[in-house]
Amino acid sequence: MCGICGVLNLRDSAAPVEQRALHAMADVLRHRGPDSEGTYISDDCGVGLGFRRLSIVDLATGDQPMPNEDESLWLVFNGEIYNHAAHRPGLEARGHRFRSHCDAEVILHLYEELGPDCIHELRGMFALALWDSRRRQLLLARDRIGVKPLYFARTSDALIFGSEIKALFEYPGLEPRLNEPALSLFLTFAATPAPQTLFEGIQKLPPGHRLIVDADTGQQRLERYWQPLPDPDERATRRQPEEYVERLEAFVRESIGLRMMSDVPYGAFLSGGVDSSLNVALMAELADRPVSTFSVAIDGDPNSDELRFARSVAERYGTRHHEVTIGEQDFLDYLPELVWHQDEPLADPVCVPLHAISEAARASGTRVIQVGEGADELFSGYTSYAFFTDFYRRVWRPYSLLPRPLRQVASNALGPWLPLDRADVLARAGDGGELFWGGAVPFYDGYKRRLLGSDDAMGRQAVAALYADVDGNVPGASQLDRMIGIELRQRLPELLLMRVDKVTMGSSLEARVPYLDHKLVEFALAMPAEVKYRDGVTKWVLKRVAERVGVSRELIYRPKRGFCGSATNMLSPRLLDRAELDIFDSSFARERFDLGFVRRLLSEQRSGKGDHNYRLWTLWNLVAWHACWFEGARTRMQEPSLA
């Protein structure tokens, strides 16, 4: 796992890239790769590549930037290719010669065979940049699911890219500017949808996409090479429910086994829920050494404390178990550092306990961690999925069959008398909109209208585009599968996976996501909805896999909790006071938000008349981000000092 960056000169393609600028871009990524650094600057064309390495596989060799045999290709790569060893024999048989045992070199030789289509052969997580001096083109690519980030910007004379936005701002003349239109989308989704960011002129490469840039003409071509769709053969085959369980167990075993590829100590985050417990059970079965596990809770908060469940799993499977407890002060202490590491605000208070547990893992000597992200989205694990599925069938669908004018009359008549969240639902039903916008929406239209003092259609349009993409590619999908489809296109890659990447890499820790192997994803999407949500049981098929593996039934079928509870229980009265102070002291908030409405949210939260924790955390995170990047509060965080 690493940090990558680079520059491609476009106005004067023969002008060399400045070494000082490239080094500064790489240096600000040191937390992503504290073990070594490297740069490549071409002598005869304006391309430069920068690299920071976190050594995981092939510790002795494998430094980057890495060339092919004749140095016509140069690569910087962030991630892991889990099937790299399987490609080696065939490549060697075709005459390719390897100088290392690392996975990055396989990419170079595959590119020599297939060009940019080599991406299809990679199984893993990655963000990469490959300079082809013969074709005089730069290839940028992001993995299928979006586990690893990659950002880029186009100036008047160059294309600049990096693993984090802060690396781009080390390039001379590129300064942070607020992307005002993206602010509305952030308030809807708690993270900006790709390719936008909250910085004007800075784009993120969408998951499953590649960007090819011609150095001579400056033309760039953005191509989608993969999207989350059901495996067609699996979808055409109808199986009995237990057959899906058997097939899924095989996929999960394979995926977890592949992600145990490491030359350094590895472990797992263990919440005591189904996903992490199944992961640990199979890791313990497959490992050649004890697995390290890490759990976290919030001091004094019974909603967040699952330590006893995690402890029972750790004892059962003989792990080296570590526990962390955090308190109010940790939220206050960690927030400035998290804002800096995240680049964009990620409106999820889970980032705070995730930071604490990442620091504990790294302090223990662990460098690779497996996490359970994606299982709830793929297999319908959230109770909200069950609610929205049932509500859609019983209420929403029948109501939507009424004439639209009648629905709009009902919305106009009843809306003013309903709480804002219910009025929002009624308005969407009246307009023919969508019931479900995602698993974490801080501000639906009614709340956003009150907050901003104006209405816009950006959130509605973005949601409609997500559903159109799903419906156009999977005609006739069930409502549950449509909901899962939009989650895989927005919330999962741009909020949940970026939360994992930015926070763990901030502690120089590599996180792997076995439930999001693309072959497993394609199989899961081909499963019928009734084996995911069955007989009132969410995530039924994965829970049956956990039973087969031997995880206790008491743990499997206990009521679901989010990581450390949920966003609704993380803001104590003291933290609410601090959030209020920071929001009302912010010139950014005073200029854009109706602070009277914010006072109402705070009042209802304190009195128990409403649950606005997530909305208030979103606003607090947003003003802290603005202070960091636009009001002079940005400071270089202390980077890890590692032996």
| Alpha-carbon gap, residue 150 to 142, rounded angstroms | 7
Q: How far are the Cα atoms of 378, 503, 632 from residue 213, in angstroms, in the given order? A: 34, 30, 34
Q: How far are the Cα atoms of 102, 324, 514, 530, 539 from residue 261, in angstroms, in the given order? A: 11, 27, 12, 34, 28
Residues 6+ apart with CB under 8 A from 457: none
Query: Do you find a cis peptide bond into 193, omega within 30 degrees of 0?
Result: no
* H or E element at residue 158: strand 158-162
Phi/psi at 519 (nearest 5 deg)? -70, -40
Residues 6+ apart with CB under 8 A from 508: 31, 32, 33, 34, 54, 362, 367, 640, 642
Q: How far are the Cα atoms of 323, 358, 360, 428, 619 from residue 571, in angstroms, in the given order? A: 22, 21, 23, 30, 13
Q: How far are the Cα atoms of 15, 310, 342 from residue 296, in angstroms, in the given order? A: 51, 9, 21
DSSP 350: T
Residues 6+ apart with CB under 8 A from 230: 474, 522, 525, 526
Could you list the active site residues? 2
As a whole number of Å, the CA-based R_g of the chain is 24
Measured in whole angstroms, the distance separating CA 149 from the mean position of its chain's CA atoms is: 8
Can you tell me which residue has the tokens 């926070």? 503
Residue type at 511 in one-letter notation: A
* H or E element at residue 451: helix 445-452
3-state secondary structure of 198: coil
| Alpha-carbon gap, residue 79 to 146, rounded angstroms | 11
DSSP 394: I
| Alpha-carbon gap, residue 13 to 136, rounded angstroms | 10
- Ordered strands of the 510-512 beta sheet: 320-326, 292-298, 266-269, 368-370, 510-512
Residue type at 282 in one-letter notation: L
Phi/psi at 307 (nearest 5 deg)? -60, -35
Residues 6+ apart with CB under 8 A from 582: 620, 623, 624
SS (H, E, C) 445-487: HHHHHHHHCCCCCHHHHHHHHHHHHHHHHCCCCCHHHHHHHHH
Considering all CA atoms of the chain, what is the largest pairwise distance in Å, rounded to the nearest integer? 74
Residues 6+ apart with CB under 8 A from 483: 385, 388, 389, 436
228 within 8 A of 485, measured Cβ to Cβ: yes
88 within 8 A of 106, measured Cβ to Cβ: yes
3-state secondary structure of 22: helix
Residue 214: closest CA among 131, 129, 120: 131
244 within 8 A of 527, measured Cβ to Cβ: yes
* H or E element at residue 7: strand 2-9
Dihedral (C-alpha) 9, 12, 16, 22: value to the nearest 10 degrees?
A: -30
